[in-house]
Amino acid sequence: MIRKFAAIAIAAGVVLGTAGCNMISHVATNDPYAPSDGAQGHIGDLKARNFLLLQDSTKSILIGSLVNSAEAATKASLEYKDAGADKTTEVNLNGYQKFDLGYNGTAALPVVTDLKPGALFKLTLRSNGEAVEISVPVLDGTLKEYKAILDATN
């Protein structure tokens, strides 16, 4: 009888001991991250998603998406350097609206910069008196999906 209880106790210990690791381990899939090459940021319900500065030998363009997750309309301002000068682009978003820059039928923002692929382009998102700085990666047309966007831009 004691052998039976000892065997059950050992089996239970092994099961709990090996399964217990998942009870206290950090689950990496719960961490938010940018699932693409682009940068992201947010101010409350306003989200900037997948922002990239794409370049080829003749142009640089800023692409990305703005998403308003709230019911109320909001105004977003994108502030950046263009040819060394401060520039601001404003976008009005209705409730639950997504606005794309540079794809899905919308124009990208042309930008003049000395930055090369691999650098980070500073972009500031402003809304409702708050601001967040986003470090946008500068990429070239090496990947076919980015080359297609660059080629489609005049």
Q: Does some domain include residue 2? A: no
Question: Is residue 137 within 8 Å of 53, Cβ to Cβ?
Answer: yes
Q: Does some domain include residue 44? A: yes
Residues linked to residue 92 through DSSP beta bridges, in sequence order: 75
Identify the residue with better confidence: 20 or 100.
100
Question: Is residue 111 within 8 Å of 123, Cβ to Cβ?
Answer: no
Considering the entire predicted model, what is its pTM? 0.79
Q: Does some domain include residue 17? A: no
Q: How far is CA 68 from the centre of its chain?
A: 14
Q: Does some domain include residue 30? A: no
pLDDT at 36 over 60: yes
Q: Which phi and psi (to 5°) does residue 151 adopt?
A: -65, -30
Q: Does some domain include residue 14? A: no
Q: Does some domain include residue 28? A: no
Q: Does some domain include residue 20? A: no
Domain residues for the domain of 134 are 37-152
Q: How confident is the model at residue 92 (pLDDT cuts 50, 70, 90)?
A: very high
How far apart are alpha carbons 140 and 121 in whole angstroms? 13
Per-residue pLDDT, 70: 97
Find the CATH number of the domain harbouring 52: 2.60.40
Q: Does some domain include residue 142? A: yes
Domain count for the chain: 1
Per-residue pLDDT, 103: 84
Q: How far is CA 130 from the centre of its chain?
A: 18
